[in-house]
Chains A and B, each alone.
Chain A
Amino acid sequence: DQQVKQNSPSLSVQEGRISILNCDYTNSMFDYFLWYKKYPAEGPTFLISISSIKDKNEDGRFTVFLNKSAKHLSLHIVPSQPGDSAVYFCAASAQGAQKLVFGQGTRLTINP
């Protein structure tokens, strides 16, 4: 049973526009959420996170929104740049849990 789902395997966005990546979860015990970015032939790198006590967290061009009632989070990238082309994974954990649960990933392509 997939507890964290990224229903869009791929997304294509024009350079300079907004990219919105979505993630849904089913486990109501999850209280910490992260986004990782992965380039080909490299390991995932941490991008941004959010705790369940917040509904928004910003870091430069990246903003993560959390809607706890809908069990949904999204990552906004504004403006999108060619270097943002990568696979993005969302992940979640429950307080005290030692593990992260990852979604399937979304491949983002930024077109010039």
Chain B
Amino acid sequence: NAGVTQTPKFRVLKTGQSMTLLCAQDMNHEYMYWYRQDPGMGLRLIHYSVGEGTTAKGEVPDGYNVSRLKKQNFLLGLESAAPSQTSVYFCASKQGATDTQYFGPGTRLTVL
């Protein structure tokens, strides 16, 4: 039982490049979330999903897109990376009935 996993762990991009971050969970959770963590800002919600095939915007969605084609996977895409997207990205998932979110180990992204 791996819990929540994120791929890749580290990535360096040049401005304008695109990439996709993968989040996978093996707990059969309905809800999945993408956050970014920046110094002094805490965790800010980018996008989330309440079930397979659904997505919704969070607090800071601009510049990101997401897809939830399979229940266990939640993908975060950057179509044209900008230096402001340099951050640590965390994925989380939870059961519908509780508010305890389980987090992945994070992806450190640097955009030059």
Residues of chain A touching chain B, judged by Cβ–Cβ distance below 8 Å, are 4, 6, 9, 32, 34, 36, 41-46, 49, 89, 91, 93, 98-100, 102-105
Task: Name 18 extra pairs, CB < 8 A, besides A41-B105, A42-B105.
Answer: A4-B42, A32-B99, A36-B103, A43-B104, A45-B103, A46-B102, A49-B99, A89-B43, A98-B31, A98-B50, A99-B33, A99-B48, A102-B35, A102-B42, A102-B43, A103-B42, A104-B40, A104-B42
Contact between B100 and A34, CB atoms less than 8 A apart = yes
Query: Quick one: CB contact mask for B62-77 with A, threshold 8 Å, 1 for yes?
Result: 0000000000000000
Q: Identify the interface centre among A42, A91, A93, A100: most chain B CB within 10 Å of its CB.
A: A100
Residues of chain B touching chain A, judged by Cβ–Cβ distance below 8 Å, are 4, 31, 33, 35, 40-45, 48, 50, 56, 58, 90, 92, 99-106
Contact between A46 and B42, CB atoms less than 8 A apart = no
The 4 A-B pairs of least Cβ separation, nearest first, read A43-B103, A104-B42, A102-B43, A102-B42
